[in-house]
Amino acid sequence: MQMSEYLAMMQGDDGKLDAVELIAAYEQGIQELRTTVAGMTAEQVLARPVPGKWSTVECVGHLADTEIFFTDRIVRTIAMDHPLLMSADETLYIKRLDYQSFDLEEQLALFTALRHHAVRILRMQSCEAWTRTAVHSGAGLLTLRQLVLQPVRHLRHHLPFIAEKRAAVEAHRP
């Protein structure tokens, strides 16, 4: 998939969700992620059971790290006028930041804290604030709505991959 297609998939806004629903979907992601990995052993989260794909801890580390800049983008867009938001090549993070050495619970806790933090901020925003814009270096002009849609969709994009890994390691459990 081309980056432009990927970004369109992540950031496209069909207007179906109102602000309350959008925040609810965003907040619900915390439990969705936790449920997806609940009960996996240390060995299972480190395994790469699907050829060519990340381990579970790498995937969750990726989700936590992207959540850091997703949250920063939301905050900048609320606080600053037309901030420039730089895209990031997420694929480079996993290897160079040694995600296999990450601690799953630490990543889950960080992800949770970031989402709680942003939910509190988002719930305080006026209707007008949701149309505030930023300039994303890869996607161009984005609204606050789109900047919240992206983490919602990003998480949901990755959860099936974690479920796939889980099914694979559990199938091979002695």
Q: Which residues bind other proteins (CB under 8 A)?
A: 64-65, 68-69, 71-72, 75-76, 78-80, 83-86, 88-89, 92-93, 96-98, 101-103, 106-107, 109-110, 113-114, 116-117, 120-121, 124, 129, 137
Q: 137 vs 167, which CB is nearer to other proteins?
A: 137
Min separation Cβ 83 and other proteins, Å: 7
Question: How far apart are the C-alpha atoms of 93 and 63, rounded to whole Å?
Answer: 11
Q: DSSP per residue over 114-131, as a string? A: HHHHHHHHHHT--TGGGG
Most distant CA atoms of the chain, gap in Å:
57
Q: 93 vs 161, which CB is nearer to other proteins?
A: 93
Residues in CB range of 156: below 8 A, 6 or more apart: 29, 32
Q: 24 vs 135, which CB is nearer to other proteins?
A: 135
Min separation Cβ 76 and other proteins, Å: 6
Min separation Cβ 153 and other proteins, Å: 20
Question: How far apart are the C-alpha atoms of 59 and 77, rounded to whole Å?
Answer: 27
